[in-house]
Structure formats: structure tokens, C-alpha cells
């Protein structure tokens, strides 16, 4: 008897509960949609539906490795002529960039792309604009061996570092095999993982502090979502987790002129035609600190970058009100920066 009752009523009960749940979510959606971010003093947030999540306030790391990695990060001995360190192109006082259109390496050689910020790089799913490195450790291999950047090799680097008893002792204390290329990469990568930037005003807002953002900044966030920016700039970093073609609506490179191989982006890694002109979507965290913008450094200011994105990625002409609101939102994304000295 009980089995028959269960079969007869279980499905209707399930459907009723599902309908009730969906109705509740629809009511919540209607409440959010009815808000006018330009006039309401707070923006109703449903944490489960937000496309952006806060940066963790703490990431546990080996602090001795962080300290060693920091020293290596600032050591020009990693380059062939002892002129260039990781910090040369990723200055922690300049948003972890060099604020140049294209970076300069050993012998004054000009690089091919703009140096991206390494703040929060440990939270990104791939490294470099074209995503050719899967991990931070793999990324470190690039500059060390690149003829334009550091033009060195691990035997050269280790040979110089081993002349320091301090380095030798610290590596032996932290790594079973002492100073090796893998140990050096691990230490630098651990330091880079420590360069996360939590507690921005926007993160405080996401965590429930509605007064962390002004009414206009909240309106900017809503506009950012409504216009579609959030389709690429989402997740914990507002980017850094996908590839996208530069020029979805219009030929950006033809309009800019003088295309180069670096403009091919992800295509240079995969050889797939669908990857031509595709790049890793940059994180917008701390974006006000890192001009100029894009892989080619072609946008000198943030407002210009926003205008270009609206035109070529969203297929719209930039409206001054939209641009202003989005800029106000972007100004809330600067977090606490550690390791700067």
C-alpha cells in the first residue's frame, strides 16, 4: 500500500515544490529588476546569482618561500647582463606593471606586448596574453629564456646565485635538493601568489556592506552588467578565466593599423583559425593602476579603453553617461596591496 502511495503522490509533490521554488526566485528577480540603480540607495544582491565573487581575504602560503621569492623577484641576476629583474616589468609600485606601451628588456630591446599586471596572477587559469603557460612556474620559464627579456638560462642564473651564501642557505633550508631551477620557480611563484589584492570597496559591497559603494558606483556596476561587459569580465578577477576575440563587432586591428604577429594572440599558440585575434580576457582588478591598456598598450587612459571595448566588443557607440558610470564602478576595484616595498 505504502509503495503505491509513494508512486502516486511523489511526483506531484516534487513538481509543487519545484514550482514554489521557481516562483520565489522569480519574485526575487522581479525585485532586482525593478530597482533603479540611479535613484535607489542600495542594490539588492542575491549572492547565488552574482557573476562576480570577492577575492579571498587570506590565502595560506609558506611565508619563508614568499620572502625568498620576493628577493629573487627583485634580483637582476636572473638576467644575462644583470640589468633586468622580474620587478623591472612588474613594479609593485606601478600596479605590478611598468606602465609602458611595451616593456624593455636586456640591452634596451623592446618587447612585443604590454606587460600585464601580476597582481592576483595566482588566481588566473593561464598566464600571458595568449595563455601559452598553464602555471606560474611555467610562465617564469618564458622571460628567463626570452632573448628580448632576460636572455639567460638556468645554468647561468644558478651559477650566479650560488655565489651568495645567503641564497644557498635559504634554499637548503626550504628545498630537499637545495637550489635548482624548480626550486627557484617555486619560490618566485609562491611570492607571486602572495600578491592577491582583497578587500576592495566592491568586495566589501559583495559581502553585504551596501554603503561601501556610492549610489552612482552601484549604478555603474548595474550598467556594467546590463551592457554585457560582465559576459567576459566575471568571476573572482572580473576576467582572467577565458579567451575572447578582440574585435567581436568590427575589425579593431584594421582600424588601428600596422598589425603584427603579436596581434594574432592565441592563434600563435594553437594554430587554429578560430583563435586568431583572441586573447586572455584581462582582469579588471586594480585596473586604475595599470595604464596603458590592452596587449598593444594602445589605450593610454581607462576611459579610452572603455570606449574601445564598448565599440568593438559590444557593438555600440560609447555614450558619455554609460562610460562615466562604468568608470565610477571600475574605480571601486582597487584592493589591499601587500608586498610593496
Catalytic positions are 149
Please name the residues in contact with 226: beta carbons below 8 A apart, sequence gap of 6 or more: none
Collapsing DSSP to helix, strand or coil, 104 comes out as strand
Please name the residues in contact with 233: beta carbons below 8 A apart, sequence gap of 6 or more: 224, 239, 281, 284
| Exposed/middle/buried for residue 245 (C-beta within 10 Å: 0-12, 13-18, 19+) | middle
Task: Name the E strands within the chain.
Answer: 243-245, 278-280
Instruction: Tell me which residue of 323, 287, 285, 328 sits closest to 304, measured CA to CA.
Output: 323
Q: What is the distance in angstroms between the CA of the first residue and the CA of the last residue of the chain?
A: 76
d(Cα 309, Cα 265) in Å, to the nearest integer?
Answer: 17
Residue reference for cell 590565502: 59
- CA distances to 115, 191, 245, 268, 270 from 275, rounded to whole Å, are 21, 32, 7, 8, 7
Instruction: Tell me which residue of 118, 181, 110, 189 sits closest to 147, measured CA to CA.
Output: 110
d(Cα 281, Cα 238) in Å, to the nearest integer?
Answer: 9
CB 66 within 8 A of CB 170: no
d(Cα 102, Cα 89) in Å, to the nearest integer?
Answer: 9
- Please list the helix, strand and coil fractions of the chain in percent, rounded to the nearest 5, in that order: 50, 5, 45
Amino acid at each position: 500500500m505504502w509503495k503505491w502511495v509513494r508512486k502516486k503522490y511523489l511526483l506531484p509533490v516534487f513538481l509543487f515544490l519545484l514550482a514554489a521554488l521557481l516562483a520565489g526566485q522569480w519574485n526575487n528577480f522581479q525585485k532586482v529588476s525593478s530597482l533603479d540603480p540611479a535613484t535607489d540607495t542600495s542594490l539588492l544582491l542575491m549572492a547565488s546569482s552574482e557573476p562576480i565573487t570577492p577575492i579571498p581575504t587570506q590565502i595560506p602560503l609558506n611565508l619563508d618561500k614568499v620572502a625568498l621569492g620576493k628577493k629573487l623577484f627583485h634580483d637582476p641576476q636572473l638576467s644575462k647582463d644583470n640589468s633586468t629583474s622580474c620587478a623591472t616589468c612588474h613594479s609593485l609600485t606601478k600596479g605590478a606593471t611598468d606602465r609602458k606601451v611595451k616593456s624593455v628588456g636586456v640591452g634596451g630591446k623592446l618587447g612585443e606586448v604590454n606587460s600585464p599586471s601580476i597582481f592576483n596572477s595566482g588566481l588566473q587559469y593561464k598566464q600571458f596574453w595568449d595563455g601559452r603557460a598553464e602555471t606560474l612556474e611555467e610562465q617564469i620559464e618564458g622571460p628567463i629564456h626570452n632573448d628580448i627579456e632576460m636572455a639567460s638560462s638556468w645554468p647561468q642564473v644558478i651559477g650566479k646565485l650560488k655565489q651568495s651564501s645567503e641564497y644557498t642557505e635559504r634554499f637548503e633550508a626550504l628545498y630537499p635538493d637545495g637550489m635548482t631551477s624548480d626550486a627557484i620557480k617555486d619560490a618566485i611563484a609562491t611570492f607571486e601568489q602572495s600578491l592577491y589584492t582583497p578587500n576592495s570597496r566592491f568586495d566589501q559591497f559583495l559581502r553585504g556592506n551596501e554603503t561601501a559603494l556610492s549610489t552612482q558606483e552601484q549604478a555603474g556596476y548595474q550598467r556594467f552588467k546590463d551592457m554585457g561587459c560582465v559576459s567576459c569580465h566575471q568571476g573572482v578577477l572580473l576576467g582572467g578565466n577565458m579567451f575572447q576575440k578582440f574585435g567581436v563587432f568590427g575589425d579593431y586591428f584594421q582600424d588601428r593599423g600596422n598589425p603584427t604577429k603579436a596581434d594574432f594572440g592565441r592563434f600563435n599558440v594553437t594554430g587554429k583559425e578560430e583563435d586568431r585575434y583572441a586573447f586572455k580576457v584581462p582582469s579588471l582588478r586594480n585596473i586604475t593602476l595599470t595604464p596603458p591598456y590592452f596587449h598593444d598598450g594602445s589605450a593610454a587612459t581607462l576611459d579610452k579603453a572603455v570606449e574601445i571595448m564598448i565599440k568593438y566588443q559590444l557593438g555600440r557607440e560609447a555614450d558619455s553617461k554609460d562610460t562615466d558610470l562604468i568608470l565610477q564602478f571600475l574605480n571601486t576595484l582597487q584592493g589591499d596591496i601587500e608586498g610593496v616595498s
